[in-house]
């Protein structure tokens, strides 16, 4: 079960900000051509946790992974686990992703679910912090995106150039530039 944020309005605001980011950035810039259908069908779970330590976040993650596996895809296809109080430092977050992947193995759901990372300070190895390529994975709050492998496979099969999405996204963001991103 998620550790609730004591202030329900704050929790709702965090979920709303994330949903707005999905709609304006992810869908609006078409960074993920598969996101719109899932969002329109209301199959995205926006789960906000008050977890503030790595251990708490790992427990919350495991709970959300189990919830997603146990829930019919027609109800929840994907989950965004928003954790604004844990892993605010990107380096800590980066290393936590190894723990997240280990949770998939521990729960024996490798090949069933996968986890993608988003963070306000996301930075790919070998890039400068302000390189626009990093903005493909920048989000308003630290979060873990839990995806069903079957949904990913279906989406990729329907999109003929799925391998080109990443390069296309970098080109879009570089054309947008930092000032355009800030306005967005």
Q: What is the pTM of this model?
A: 0.93
In the block, tokens 């977890």 appear at 51
Gap between the Cα atoms of 151 and 4, Å rounded: 28
Position 1 pLDDT exceeds 70: no
What pLDDT is recorded for position 165?
Answer: 87
pLDDT per position as a tens digit, 139-158: 999 999 999 999 988 888 88
What confidence tens digit (pLDDT) does each residue in 17-51 have? 999 999 999 999 999 888 999 999 999 999 999 99
d(CA 80, CA 104): 16
């Amino acid at each position: 079960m998620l550790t609730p944020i004591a202030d329900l309005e704050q929790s709702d605001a965090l979920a709303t900000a994330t949903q707005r980011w999905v709609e304006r950035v992810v869908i609006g810039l078409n960074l993920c051509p598969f996101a719109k259908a899932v969002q329109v069908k209301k199959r995205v779970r926006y789960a906000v946790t008050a977890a503030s330590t790595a251990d708490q976040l790992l427990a919350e993650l495991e709970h959300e992974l189990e919830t997603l596996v146990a829930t019919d895809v027609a109800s929840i296809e994907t989950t965004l686990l928003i954790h604004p109080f844990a892993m605010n430092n990107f380096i800590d977050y980066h290393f936590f992703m190894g723990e997240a992947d280990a949770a998939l193995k521990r729960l024996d759901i490798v090949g069933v679910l996968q986890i993608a990372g988003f963070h306000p300070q996301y930075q790919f190895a070998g890039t400068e912090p302000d390189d626009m390529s990093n903005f493909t994975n920048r989000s308003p709050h630290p979060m873990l995106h839990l995806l069903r492998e079957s949904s990913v496979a279906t989406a990729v099969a329907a999109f003929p150039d799925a391998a080109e999405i990443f390069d296309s996204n970098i080109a879009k963001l570089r054309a947008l530039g930092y000032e355009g991103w800030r306005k967005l």
